[in-house]
Amino acid sequence: MMPKAVLLDRDGVINFDSPDYILAPDQWLPVPGSLAAIARLHAAGIAVAIVSNQSGLGRGMMDQHAFNAIHGKMMLAIEQAGGFISHVAYCPHGPDDHCHCRKPKPGMVLDSLAALGLSDKPENVLFIGDSIRDVEAASAAHVPAMLVQSGYGDSEKILQQSRLLQPDIACCADLAAAVNMILGDQC
């Protein structure tokens, strides 16, 4: 069944990630094919939302102005490619802040479902991420997940851990391949 909405992690899915964080607009570089993939979802009538931990804010590694500049660059690039983002949820907290929103907790996923009018239909949504935290957050919100291998983690280990939560989870090379699979092609 075609999802009504797709939730995307940002770093490692839409853009290249870094263990040193994305802290300035010039560090934000899209994964090849990701912007066109978002445009394809939009053209197919599938709402797209972003769900992203951004602890660089809470850790004081960047300020809100820098974050907004990164976000602005991303949104402009998505729009120029023909895509549209219906909702953005980000958690500025660090891992020790004990918030309800930071993945692997489901707060941002639940907020996104509500914003998209799909709180009562989580099975009609797909979360695409590159980490076990993404799959844990999706699972806690009863949302099916899919993995991409374009992040910087050990993708095989992440897949094995994820299969403990969602045994049938699909894994594709990147967002472009994942969207091919969603729209009926193979990854």
Point out the catalytic residue in the list 11, 130, 134, 174: 11
CA 5/CA 26 separation, integer angstroms: 29
Domains of the chain: 5-182 (3.40.50.1000)
Active-site annotation holds for 11: yes
Q: Angle CA(26)–CA(28)–CA(34) in degrees, nearest 5?
A: 140
Q: For the chain, how long is the longest CA-to-CA vector? A: 43
Tens digit of each residue's pLDDT, the chain (187 residues): 799 999 999 999 999 999 899 999 999 999 999 999 999 999 999 999 999 999 999 999 999 999 999 999 999 999 999 999 999 999 999 989 999 999 999 999 999 999 999 999 999 999 999 999 999 999 999 999 999 999 988 999 999 999 999 999 999 999 999 999 999 865 5
Active-site annotation holds for 63: no
* Beta-sheet strands, E only, within the chain: 5-8, 47-53, 87-91, 125-129, 145-148, 170-172
Whole-structure pTM value: 0.96
